[in-house]
Amino acid sequence: MSLLPIITFPHPFLRKKAEPIAEEQIGSWRPLVSDMIETMRRHDGVGLAAPQVEQSLRLAIISKEVVSDSKDWVLINPKIIKHSWRRASLEESCLSVPGIRKEVKRYVKIRVKARDKDGLAFNFEAKDFLARVIQHEIDHLDGILIVDK
């Protein structure tokens, strides 16, 4: 495993819409996933999206502390398929926008479908802080940063 450099605002790559990962390619990104997990942990992040390490891939990881699981979650081609009408505001920070804290309004509850690191499709409901982190990471996949909110 190795640490990856995190690119920061205003790097133009952060504005690119990331490409979906083909199902049969998912396995080949496993080393990148390991490196992203290591990188996220080293920076005390709660999530990391592939565009932040200059990869145009719809791939994000969510820290196990946020999902209250024994493993970090790997979301491949994640998509919000349903959301609450209610939104809430909270200050967020971002490893790609250092030194800035920004109040961001997010849906309180979302339903997400994605594939895991083995390519298996799954879908789940997330609320509150987990829902917030996932929306933040999906924004990265669409080239959106907290400074745009």
Residues contributing to the site for Zn ion (CB under 5 A): 94
Half-sphere exposure of 129 (CA within 13 A, CB side): 11
Nearest approach, Cβ of residue 96 and Zn ion (Å): 5
Q: Is 137 a catalytic residue?
A: yes
**Maximum Cα–Cα distance across the chain:** 41
Span between the terminal Cα atoms of the chain, in Å: 34
- 61 vs 94, which CB is nearer to Zn ion? 94
- 119 vs 149, which CB is nearer to Zn ion? 149
Catalytic pick from 24, 92, 125, 137?
Answer: 137
Nearest approach, Cβ of residue 120 and Zn ion (Å): 26
Instruction: Return the closest-CA partner of residue 145 out of 38, 5, 7.
Output: 7
Tell me the residue nearest to Zn ion as measured from the CB. 94
- 113 vs 149, which CB is nearer to Zn ion? 149
Rounded CA separation 111/39 (Å): 27
Q: Which residues are known catalytic residues?
A: 137
